[in-house]
């Protein structure tokens, strides 16, 4: 017998011995985070990793892979094809693959409370049969969502009144913000996240509609002079940090799937908590740096609210004509009810910990998913 054969024989004997003794072999869970270190997504995945290890008694250990493996747009296909077991997805990037998920995403301007938006989106998706079906079709299992902080205007001049906003070119993250800008007399400009800093610094645009957490994450703190904190509002709540490859999900035991679901509640909560905390920290840093932090005038807020309400009335048409959604009006009404429910469960006038938010997500959503059936 050669050395290689002996080694294989010894390894097999060891595995058999460990299994016979009742001690489970630890298994790696490969998760890619296609954004730079320090992001809310990375924070959430790390919190999830520790929670999963504890809840699975050390049987499931997360390995986090950087953007050099898969970037944000590659992660969808990479998870579908089993390159990784899980990964950070921004669902907005995949409208043709996930038309049902686009409906609540289009309702971005409802977003004032990130914890509520993450809760509403998570509950909507995992209880919506067409939403789950479109993920299963792509060999993925949805496990809830996180949210950014509420959007502000990060610019190179004050933008708090109608006159100040007129004609300003502002980076818009999606259709809802582009439509808001047009109705308010500004111009929404579509740019990816890594293009914003250069566009603002070179004067190509006058600012960006983004959460204030972006002041440091993309270094807008070095070029912005003014921040309007209470306008336009809205959240990106289609942040998917916990979903997994369906084949991987099927390979888990019922006990491991339960551990994964319970830990996913923390992953979503911690990601959202990080975004919320970064908003507060960034606004404090902005003031210390001499950046002017404003609130929009009452007149502007009233106009903004009217614009948002009018736009919401058009979402059903957009969902039907653009994404082919059936019963769009009923689905919109359902999502609005969920937002109201979650705003009551997680009001923003309290300082929440990630663990407290996770416990509510767990009790209201994840504990109600049957690990013996869901996603299989």
With a cut of 90, say whether residue 283 has pLDDT above it: yes
Average pLDDT (195-217) is 94
Share of the chain above pLDDT 90, in %: 84
The model's pLDDT over 227-257, given as tens digits with 9 standing for 90+, comes to 999 999 999 999 999 999 999 999 999 999 9
Residue 14 pLDDT = 38
Average pLDDT estimate for 107-123? 97
Average pLDDT, the chain: 92
pLDDT at 41 over 60: yes
What pLDDT, in 10s, does the model give residues 296-324?
999 999 999 999 999 988 899 888 988 88
User: Per-residue pLDDT for 353 more than 80?
Assistant: yes
Domains 25-147+238-284+327-368 and 152-235+293-309 share a fold: yes
pLDDT tens digit string along 133-176?
A: 999 999 999 999 999 999 999 999 999 999 999 999 999 988 89
Give the CATH fold of the 25-147+238-284+327-368 domain: D-Maltodextrin-Binding Protein; domain 2 (3.40.190)
Domain range annotation of the chain: 25-147+238-284+327-368, 152-235+293-309
Question: Of all residues in the chain, what percent carry a pLDDT higher than 70?
Answer: 93
Nearest to 361 by CA among 239, 279, 263: 263
**pLDDT the model gives residue 174:** 83
For residue 259, pLDDT beyond 70? yes
- Helix (H/G/I), strand (E/B), else coil: 200: helix
- Note whether 45 and 62 are within 8 A (CB): yes
User: Is residue 8 pLDDT above 80, yes or no?
Assistant: no
For the 152-235+293-309 domain, the top CATH level (class) is: alpha beta
**337, 109 in Cβ contact below 8 A?**
no
pLDDT bucket at 24, cuts 50 / 70 / 90: low
Contact 103, 325 (CB under 8 A): yes
Residue 279 has pLDDT above 90, yes or no: yes
Q: If you average pLDDT over residues 191-219, what whole number do you get? A: 91
Contact yes or no for 343/235 (Cβ under 8 A) = no
Q: Whole-angstrom Cα distance, residue 93 to residue 170? A: 20
Summarize the confidence of residues 38-67 as an average pLDDT: 96
Q: How much is the pLDDT for 37?
A: 87
Sign for the pseudo-dihedral over CA of 199, 201, 205, 209? positive
Residues in the chain: 376
Q: pTM value? A: 0.89
């Amino acid at each position: 017998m050669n050395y290689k054969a002996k080694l294989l024989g010894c390894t097999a004997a060891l595995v058999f011995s460990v299994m016979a003794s009742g001690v489970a072999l630890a298994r790696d869970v490969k998760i890619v985070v296609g954004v730079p270190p320090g992001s809310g997504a990375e924070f959430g995945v790390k919190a999830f990793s520790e929670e999963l290890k504890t809840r699975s008694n050390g049987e499931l250990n997360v390995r986090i892979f950087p953007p050099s493996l898969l970037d944000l747009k590659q992660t969808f296909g990479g998870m579908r094809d089993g390159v990784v077991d899980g990964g950070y997805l921004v669902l907005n990037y995949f409208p043709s693959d996930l038309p049902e998920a686009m409906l609540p995403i289009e309702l971005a301007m409802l977003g004032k409370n990130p914890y509520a938006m993450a809760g509403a989106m998570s509950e909507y998706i995992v209880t919506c049969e067409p939403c789950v079906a479109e993920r299963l079709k792509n060999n993925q299992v949805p496990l809830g969502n996180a949210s950014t902080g509420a959007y502000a205007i990060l610019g190179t001049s004050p933008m708090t009144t109608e006159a100040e906003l007129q004609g300003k070119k502002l980076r818009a993250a999606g259709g809802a913000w582009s439509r808001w800008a047009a109705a308010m007399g500004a111009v929404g400009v579509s740019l990816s996240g890594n293009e914003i800093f250069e566009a603002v610094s070179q004067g190509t645009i006058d600012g960006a509609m983004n959460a204030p957490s972006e002041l440091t994450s993309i270094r807008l703190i070095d070029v912005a002079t003014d921040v309007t904190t209470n306008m336009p509002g809205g959240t990106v709540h289609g942040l998917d940090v916990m979903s997994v490859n369906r084949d991987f999900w099927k390979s888990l035991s019922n006990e491991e799937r339960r551990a994964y679901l319970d830990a996913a509640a923390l992953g979503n909560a911690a990601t959202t908590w990080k975004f919320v905390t970064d908003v507060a920290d960034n606004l404090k840093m902005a003031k210390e740096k001499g950046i002017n932090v404003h609130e929009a005038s009452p007149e502007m807020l009233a106009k903004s609210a009217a614009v948002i309400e009018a736009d919401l009335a058009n979402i059903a048409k957009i969902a039907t004509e653009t994404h082919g959604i059936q019963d769009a009006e009923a689905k919109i009404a359902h999502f609005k009810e969920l937002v109201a429910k979650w705003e009551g469960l997680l009001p923003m006038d309290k300082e929440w910990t990630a663990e407290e938010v996770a416990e509510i997500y767990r009790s209201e959503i994840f504990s109600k998913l049957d690990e013996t059936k869901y996603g299989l």
